[in-house]
Amino acid sequence: MSAPVLLVIAHGSRDPRHAATVHALVRRVRSLRPDVRVETGFLDFNVPSVQGVLESLETEGVRDVVALPLLLTRAFHAKADIPAVLADAPPRLRVRQAEVLGPSPLLLSALERRLYEAGLTPADKSSTGVVLASAGSSDPEAIAVIADIAREWRLTGWCAVRPAFASASLPRTEDAVRELRELGCSRVAVAPYVLAPGFLPDRIARGAARADVLADVLGPAPEVARVLLERYDAARVPVLAAVGA
């Protein structure tokens, strides 16, 4: 029996860098698991739409799909938008929604990869304060998760780690940078906890103007691709069990 199709669901953006980054990540996922068919659908702004991909798969005769939200926290899109879209899937499709990507130790590894690519080294950790800069959310659960990640990451040896948010919540990136300066960290680095470029990541970058280091977005980091496949594998087991029942 063939494996369920993996449908990666991205938010979408008017910024062309967003879709380009999503497609680069999906290409990496395909390279890691050539036995799995991977498709991409967008909630807004870009094509193909999630609904369009689902309808095409149903027309082809596909029956089992794992829909994976390309999201780092369980906020509004994961709890409301995506379930609503999947509820309108063609009736002959069996669709299971996978968990969001975060939190995961692999994502912390990806964050560190980006910081080292931006010029830091492991020897800099004890003297460097890091701003964990996320897009932000009005969902208390999502905000609490970011705070937990910051605390966990601090325990790996950084001078300090502070969460920051580009929207909906405080503090902003520039405020967290200032706090780390006042704390006495020799250098301050900003690590965007976002998957692709766009409006809010650009706001994070502006807030990092007084930092010493600004890392790139997570994008198609190999660790991110591995998390996608972990979430897919965890979701596909119940699908296959149901099919074989």
Q: What digits encode the pLDDT tens for the residues 196-234?
A: 999 999 999 999 999 999 999 999 999 999 999 999 999
Higher pLDDT, 245 or 7: 7
| Pick from 26-40, 119-133, 228-242: least confident | 228-242
Higher pLDDT, 245 or 175: 175
Query: What's the average model confidence in pLDDT over 24-32?
Result: 98
With a cut of 60, say whether residue 245 has pLDDT above it.
no
From the list 141, 190, 135, the residue with the least C-alpha distance to 161 is 190
Task: Tell me the pLDDT band of 182, cut-offs 50, 70 and 90.
Answer: very high
State pTM to two decimals. 0.94
Task: Indicate the average pLDDT of the chain.
Answer: 95
**Residue 31: alpha-carbon gap to chain centroid:** 19
From the list 36, 1, 9, the residue with the least C-alpha distance to 229 is 36
With a cut of 80, say whether residue 241 has pLDDT above it.
no
pLDDT for 238: 65
Query: What's the average model confidence in pLDDT over 47-53?
Result: 98
Query: What's the average model confidence in pLDDT over 87-108?
Result: 97
pLDDT for 3: 94
**Residue 9: alpha-carbon gap to chain centroid:** 11
Higher pLDDT, 76 or 147: 147
Residues 75 and 44: beta-carbon distance below 8 Å: no
